[in-house]
A and B are shown apart, each in its own frame.
Chain A
Amino acid sequence: MNDSMLATLFFGFPLPPEMIDPRFPAFIQRAGGLLLTLWVTAASLAAGGALGALLALARREGLPAAGSGPVDRIARAAIGLLAGAIVYSVRNLPIMIIVLATFYLPYSLLQIRVPGVVLAIAAFSLYTAVYLAEILRSGFRAVGSELSDAARVLGMSRTQVFMRIELPIALRTMRPDLLNLAITVFKDTSTLSIVAVAELTYVARQMLASRPLDYELALLLVLVLYWVPSTLLSMLATRLAVPQGRPSPMRTSLEA
């Protein structure tokens, strides 16, 4: 394997300037290979994070800010149902179909052309958001109402209770799940290779098409490039899942 192959795996193929859509940031359209995989992952986690928080808020019973009249209640129920339907259906669809739909539906239904990288980030933001909404829901449910009730009785405002009691505790329990979600998104961006987004797997497939001398080695290297970051992150997730200061129980007698 030569240096140019290696550089292509990391940074992608060079893109001719006329291919760059001026409406969207150029640096992300010019990226490729592992660099683009990381960009799409990071951008999707950020955008999906915001969207997921909104979805979770919409599904939460008794939104704090809204009024309590009958119209408010109906609107709240409708928004909750809509958010629930989005979460349910996207969670039950394979990522392959989500990616294909994001790439082919905007053009065939509305005749809109958008750069592939932007569509990729849109698809994975949606994917992140629905899974995040579920993580947030179970994370906040795990806090339990006793602590927040006690804080309310002690005179904290709703915002204070959320910021100082509910959020820190929920975040601590959610940390492993959040990391696992990041790993899943990172790994699943490889499905983008079927819609010609020039991320790591696509670069590998392009190399495959031209059959260089040792493409088996290139494919192995791609596996390693995916494996190392996700292993590091999952080791961190495992560490965070074990309660600090208390060793995990040692088991020796199971060698039955």
Chain B
Amino acid sequence: MDFSQYVFGSPYFGWLCRGLLMTLIIATASALAAALIGYWVLRCRLSAQAAWRHAGVAFVAIFRNLPLVPLLLFLTFGLPGLWLELRGRPFPSGYEFHLLILGLALNTAAYFAEILYAGVMAIGPEQIDASRTLGLPAQAIRRWVIYPQAVRIVAPALALRFIHNAKNSTMALVVPLPVGLMEVVGQAGRIAGQTFSWAEPLVFAAAIHLSLGLVLGWALNGWASRECAKIGSGAR
């Protein structure tokens, strides 16, 4: 292996830095979108109306069991094709990045909703009855009684899913993105296309993901164990 082309300031070094930045952006954006979608799917699953509950269950059942690569292929190729057939005009171009974030978020959201639902189910029903007796409105019960405890109970599982979501950002490789938006494995592929060798860029991509996993794991596991320590202590 020859690393002489990867010194500080060389173009490949810049490409890898760009890749690292995009990996962080993709991981963060998709995690935030997943948290948002997951929250609403959870609301559906806890709804009093059967139709909403079924919709929530269906969302989880669909997106938890779809692999990401075909899902992203469908979103970036199949969806524009269907759009053209149904609407009669071409799908606006330049939305591949948004569709990538959407695809990653749909997958992670299904897991988030399932994990959080398990957390909510683990809370004793007498607490909700007690809150109602005390006259708390439904919104306040969710905000101050159910969610803090549910998150606490499932914090380790949520942390694991966040880390998994960051690793999933590498699936962006199958999405046709402009070079500036490619994440670290995509940039490694660009370098491999120029140097005819995957070995060196892959070493860097692997090192970046290992350190990312180390940092994320340290931070999120710390958060999870702090949350777990609050179980039953009455702390917010």
Contacts and interface: CB of A to CB of B under 8 A. Distances in A.
A109 B199 CA distance: 8
Interface in A71-95: 89, 92-95
- Select the residue from B70, B85, B131, B210 with max chain A CB neighbours within 10 A: B70
Contacts of A226: 65-67, 70
Contacts of A256: 46, 128, 131-132, 138, 141-142, 146
B121 to A, nearest CB: 6
Given A253-B128, A254-B125, A220 B198 contact: no
Nearest to A91: B213
A254 B132 CA distance: 11
- Select the residue from B79, B120, B171 with max chain A CB neighbours within 10 A: B171
Contacts of A223: 66, 70-71, 74
A201 interface: yes
B152 to A, nearest CB: 17
B85 A216 contact: yes
Interface residues of A, number: 43
- Please tell me the size bucket of the interface on B: 35 or more
A49 B85 CA distance: 46
A181 to B, nearest CB: 14
A190 B62 contact: no
A71 B77 CA distance: 60
Interface of B: 1, 46-48, 61-62, 64-71, 73-74, 77-79, 81-82, 85, 120-121, 125, 128-129, 131-132, 138, 141-142, 146, 167-171, 173-174, 185, 188, 192, 197-199, 202, 205-206, 209-210, 213-214, 217
Q: Sort A-B residue pairs by CB-CB distance and give the 8 closest, nearest first.
A: A104-B198, A92-B213, A187-B67, A96-B170, A255-B48, A219-B78, A94-B167, A190-B69
